[in-house]
Structure 1
Amino acid sequence: MTEPARLSVPPPGPQPDESAPLAGLTRQQRLEYLRRRMAAVPSRGETADGRESRDGDRVLPVPGPLSALLPRGGLARGSVVSISGATSLLLGLLASVTADGGHAAVIGCPRLGLLAATEMGAELRRLAFVPNPGPDPVEVAAVLLDGMDLVVLGLGGVSVPPSRARAVVARARSKQSTLIVTDGDWGGAEVRLEARVRGYDGVGRGADAGRGRLRSVRLAVRAQGRSFQTRTACLDVRSTQGRVEWVPEAVAFAPEAAVR
């Protein structure tokens, strides 16, 4: 399996250690290193081999059944999206963007299941992974918005002040990158996606409870936004011949509905 790029900052000195975390450097050292690494990333709209990609429009792709939840059928470039709940939702978004030729970065999510992302179709060579972003992950995300189509920021349970959030939103809009925030509070997100597990298929019941190979996860997903009516979808995330497929059950407009 192809390994994702790991954007870790080496300590100062003539012999950098590529495994060193960002936490050991000053603010200026972190910024300088990230900008050097960003220069090696192909420009948006261009794949790693120099061909034009298919992301010429202003929307990033999502797994098929999720497109009905979003007004434009995908994640709008230059927007901020908040995600909570089942990790399958985040993995599916990363898979869709990178499989379509886009580049993504994941910041502060060291336990993210890269194998599961690969099974969903993610291209790991287009994924930069920053598991240890240091004391200011928001700053790292702001830098990576310069060259990535999608940036995922794990907040570690913290709340980002509105003034700081507005500055990063303005940067995402100017760079036409999409920022996904998770595991924390980010006021002012244009879209909020919440996923809850409704059940599993494949594990045994009765005397065989807990045994067997998991074949699918049933999810309920809710989308809320400033400019559209709340929508919910029920779907299955199924494993089929080593690949993961998203199979819709139903989509509903439910202004007051909660995902259960």
Structure 2
Amino acid sequence: MGGTGLAADLAGLSRQERLEQLRRRMAAVPVRGEAVAARPERVPGVAEPPVLPVPEALAGLLPRGGLPRGSVVTVSGSGSLLVGLLASVTGSGGHAAVIGHPRLGLLAAAEMGAELGRLAVIPDPGPDPVEVAAVLLDGLDLVVLGLAGAAVSPSRARAVVARARSKGSTLVVTGGRWSGAEIRLDAAVRGYDGLGGPAGCGRVRGLRLAVGAEGRSFRRRTACVGLRSRRGRVEWVSEAVELQRQSISESGVA
């Protein structure tokens, strides 16, 4: 379900026609869990895991080590956090959609391990992106909704939360006001690596993020993580592991 083609297909259609077009497109998307079922740890007939995976360096921030299925999560700050979540879900066999993010870094997602064949991108969902997200919750593991500064009324938010819960899907909301989210995640850039040349010149080899998480069932937790480019892939590394690697490198040990 390519983003540019879908946006063109939806242009000029009424609200009802847009929904019908989305439902037809959804019929062509693989059923949630198909790719995951082939993984060694999954046993046929066993219910899906209760959480969606996140980058390993962030798992300790969340009570169950991932994003709960059937919940709504808000994400703010550095876009690397959102891309990392998409990479973890699709790279583990899940299916995801991104609504209202025309500048989503697909290359960065692929470098973090995302399977782009399991990712639908809808950069321009039209006047009612919340309705589009509600439709997509029917068949995907993760739906990312960019609100572009809009506010969603509490009554409508509750209706979408109920839909996500009934479908076992997770909705991630960015760039707007949404009441009643179960978990709130944020990330801020704390520095870059690789700019040690004259006048701060050099190639960026990585960055450091401060990531925070809080929710209705747990108090705020924070972690410092690094994103490092290695052999064409971008890895999430916890601060403790990164310090250990720096120490080994400085000592000359291979």
Q: Which TM bucket (shorter chain)?
A: 0.7 to 0.9
Q: Which residue of 206, 216, 222 maps to 1:232?
A: 222
Within the alignment, does 1:106 sit opposite 2:98 as a pair? yes
Q: Which runs of 5+ in 2 are unaligned?
A: 241-254
Contact 1:145/1:177, CA 8 A, preserved across alignment: yes
Equivalent residue number for residue 243 of structure 1 = 233
CA distance in 1, matches of 2:18, 2:148: 19
Which letter maps to 2:3?
A: R
Where do 1:1-260 residues align within 5 Å? 5-6=2-3, 8-9=5-6, 20=8, 22-47=10-35, 52=38, 54=42, 56-205=48-197, 207-209=198-200, 211-249=201-239
CA distance in 2, matches of 1:30, 1:63: 34
Deviations 1:26-73 (A, max 9, x none): 01101111111111111112129xx54558211100000110000000
Deviations 1:102-124 (A, max 9, x none): 00000000001110000000000
Contact 1:5/1:128, CA 8 A, preserved across alignment: yes
SS at 2:219's partner residue?
coil
Contact 1:7/1:37, CA 8 A, preserved across alignment: no
| Offset at residue 89 of structure 1 (A) | 0.4
TM-score by length of 1: 0.86
CA distance in 2, matches of 1:104, 1:7: 16
| Offset at residue 208 of structure 1 (A) | 3.2
Contact 1:5/1:125, CA 8 A, preserved across alignment: no
Q: 1:96 to 1:89 in 2, by over 3 A?
A: same
Which letter maps to 1:219?
A: L
Q: 1:83 to 1:194 in 2, by over 3 A?
A: same
CA distance in 1, matches of 2:196, 2:219: 39
TM-score by length of 2: 0.88
| Offset at residue 22 of structure 1 (A) | 2.7
CA distance in 2, matches of 1:70, 1:220: 15
Contact 2:10/2:21, CA 8 A, preserved across alignment: no
Deviations 1:213-259 (A, max 9, x none): 11111000010100012110001011111100111016xxxxxxxxx
CA distance in 2, matches of 1:188, 1:212: 44
SS at 2:70's partner residue?
coil
What fraction of aligned residue pairs are identical, expressed as a percent? 70
Q: Which runs of 5+ in 1 are unaligned?
A: 10-18, 251-260
Q: How well do the aligned residues superpose, as a CA RMSD in angstroms? A: 1.9
Which letter maps to 1:27?
A: R
Equivalent residue number for residue 250 of structure 2 = none
Aligned length: 235
Deviations 1:80-111 (A, max 9, x none): 00000000000000000001000000000000
Give 1 or 2: higher helix fraction: 2
CA distance in 2, matches of 1:21, 1:184: 26
